[in-house]
Amino acid sequence: MHDIPSNAEIAHQIGISEAEVAHYREETFRLGDGSWLVHFAFAMPMELRQRLTGSFTFILKATPEQGDARQNNWI
């Protein structure tokens, strides 16, 4: 995923409405592995935060590029 994720993509992933994402979304940062870190406002209601970390963030994991043969070989 090269482009910044849309509010619709994030809403689908965390199970809230696109309008709620638009209202509470603050900053979005690209991480070194290609994933996106999405930060939400502290004012976001508790019932909407169920899939977020304690720091009001959500990580939208990057999908491997087609043809990327790398694997996670954690021992």
Rounded CA-CA distance 2/18 in Å is 20
Confidence (pLDDT) at 71: 59
User: So where are the chain's domains?
Assistant: 7-60
> Each residue of 19-54: pLDDT tens digit?
999 999 999 999 999 999 999 999 999 999 999 988
**Whole-prediction pTM:** 0.79
Distances (CA, A) of 13 to 16, 17, 51, 58: 8, 10, 9, 9
What H or E segment, with its residue span, contains residue 56? none
Q: Judge whether residue 63 has pLDDT over 60.
A: yes
